[in-house]
Structure 1
Amino acid sequence: MSVRDVFIALGVVVLWGINFLFIDLGVQDWPPLLLVVARFLVVVFPAVFFVPFPRGRFARVLLVGLFMSAGQFGLLYIAMSLGLPPGLASILLQMQAVFTTVVAVIVLREWPRARTVIGILIGVAGLAVIIAGRTAGVPAIAVVVVLGAALSWGIGNVAARGAGVGGVSLTIWSATVVPIPLFVLSLVIDGPAAVGTALANPTWGVVASTAYTAVCASLIGYVAWNTLLGRYAAAEVAPFTLLVPVVGVTSAWVVKGDVPTVAEVAGGCLLLLGVAVTTGILGRRRTQKRQGRTQIECGPDGSGEPEGS
């Protein structure tokens, strides 16, 4: 992965890490699925009138919309409305990196390199350390639901990888799949009265949550993410999200006073190491150093004479 694309991936990580605070803000006032509907309506309109539909790719766009958008966020918002804290939500959702790799092997026959497997294992170990220090008191059903969200995201990643569609087009048109089904589900689960009351009383928390999650997390974050998935193997891109919990836990600490535990700090360090191994950052540095030594010893023309000799 190029240095530019590494920085793009890291920018997405920051946007998505802060995203959990805004989701938590919104689900305090509105039914979770209705909040997801509001988010994706902002993503879709008015952009859908200016972005051409990817012809011949309807099935792929539908799959991405169902799994990466509707499935992931519907389940995530429900989990957080059930009492899952923002920091822990950001941690557990990153199990998608494992799910993505497994689904990519099954569907695309994309066998990860040994370095990728080692990096993911280190990252998963970091997640396990963090989870061990954070699950007490959290409803078990919330944990199960958010793991379902992670699986849905992993399937969506693989669907996006084989879509052959530009990041902007895929983000906008896959978002059109979300509003109607989730609005109907919200009516069924929450009831018409609760939905009507929420729509008649939008709070500032709901407005802020919708604005940030739609513009920063979806329009900016997912356009960049889907673009990266179109350039690189799914197993090479997905592990970057192992850094999202670091941002999520840190932002929850700063904003909500949720001080990280020793387990979170230790797990975060393992996450950083896992991403470094997976993306080959450490390997590139060693290679660059070897190349630098070779150039000094042999000279820029390979003549065996050091430069300046």
Structure 2
Amino acid sequence: MAAVSERTSACMNGRDLAIVAIVIIAWGSNFTAMKLALDELPPFLFVGLRFLILLPLLAILPRPPVPWWKILAVGTLINMGQFAFLFAAMRADVTAGLASLLLQAQAPLTILLSALFLGERVHGIQILGISVAVAGLVIFGVGAGGNLTRVGLGLILCGALCWAGGNLVLKGLRGVSMLPLFIWASLVPPVPMLALSLTVEGPEPVATIAALSMQGWVAVVYVALISTVLGYSLWGALLARHKAADVTPFALLIPVVGIATAALVLGERLTPLEVTGAVVIMAGLALSVLGPRLRPV
């Protein structure tokens, strides 16, 4: 979701707002699809299979004009690290709705890492937002139980940290289309994830894949194609026509859609304490992401 263009444009028209809605629905509902797939697949095997499905697209998408080390870094941090931790958490004890929310900790983590390693300035309101988001995470940590354990929270935060690290690599890639980049970065996860699955998840990954139900296959294909191919294609088109600052705040709606979809499809419900934590985290994320734009106000 990193910016790929800084072109200015007029306010979004109805068509572009509809595209935003499609992307947010695709990315928000993606967590429910992940949960359905994880009912039948162990996490590391799921990561490997998800990106293995995307490899045929290398034949039609030329390699982006990006150094190989950056492609491999994106593949290692975002495609592999993020989803290995996320799927492990969701397989164990984290609901799809909470996963969609807690993974957005990548936003304040990206701000902190950018300040630490790139020397970027952090505004006071962003520090406030990060502090509020941390307070929300503490609420989840204190109330860990039914929908989330401390181990699950830790795993998701590790996934968010991997995503944030990948965002630092993406920051220097202005004008690069995200879809080809993420497809080529899909070269990284299949072999190590399938090898890890063979080592720790069981000796018969092929048999596990062969036993997938139709629902399981639909969920895997949805995660691989709808979330990645459709989502990044449309998101990239929006970034090509509008300033990144006008597009990226819409990503704050992803956990809203994620929690709603999980409630509708999976019947997930948040406890009162989890609702409080979710509201606090969303407030912190809003301040972190929108902070620099709110300062003049």
TM over 0.5: yes
**1:135 match:** 144
Q: CA deviation at 1:18?
A: 1.3
Q: Does residue 59 of structure 1 match 2:73?
A: no
Q: What is the SS of the residue equivalent to 1:246?
A: helix
**2:47 match:** 36
| Contact kept in structure 2, 1:94 and 1:241, CA below 8 Å | no
Counterpart-to-counterpart distance in 1, 2:132 and 2:172: 27
Q: Which structure 1 residue ranges, 5 or more long, are not aligned?
A: 288-309
**1:303 match:** none
**2:254 match:** 244
Q: Which amino acid aligns with 2:273?
A: A
| Contact kept in structure 2, 1:33 and 1:186, CA below 8 Å | yes
**1:166 match:** 177
**1:181 match:** 192
Q: Does residue 77 of structure 1 match 2:87?
A: yes
Deviation digits for residues 28-81 of structure 1, max 9, x if unmatched?
111221112221122332x21111112451111111110011000111111112
In the superposition, the TM-score normalised over structure 1's length comes to 0.76
Cα distance change, pair 257–66 in 1 and its aligned pair in 2 (3 A): same
Q: CA deviation at 1:123?
A: 4.0
Percent identity, aligned pairs only? Answer: 33
Q: What is the SS of the residue equivalent to 1:111?
A: coil
Deviation digits for residues 177-207 of structure 1, max 9, x if unmatched?
12112111111112322x1321221212321
Q: What is the SS of the residue equivalent to 2:54?
A: helix
Deviation digits for residues 118-162 of structure 1, max 9, x if unmatched?
344444444544x25862144433332222111111101111112
Q: What is the SS of the residue equivalent to 1:29?
A: coil
Counterpart-to-counterpart distance in 2, 1:4 and 1:124: 33
Q: What is the SS of the residue equivalent to 1:110?
A: coil
Counterpart-to-counterpart distance in 2, 1:247 and 1:24: 15
Where in structure 1 do 4 or more consecutive aligned residues deviate above 6 Å?
A: 236-239
Counterpart-to-counterpart distance in 2, 1:40 and 1:10: 25
Range 113-122 or range 53-62, more displaced: 113-122
Q: Which amino acid aligns with 1:210?
A: V
**2:35 match:** 24
Bigger-Rg structure (1/2): 1
Deviation digits for residues 76-118 of structure 1, max 9, x if unmatched?
1111122222122223222212221111112222223334333
**2:3 match:** none
Q: What is the SS of the residue equivalent to 1:30?
A: coil
Counterpart-to-counterpart distance in 2, 1:60 and 1:250: 35
In the superposition, the TM-score normalised over structure 2's length comes to 0.79
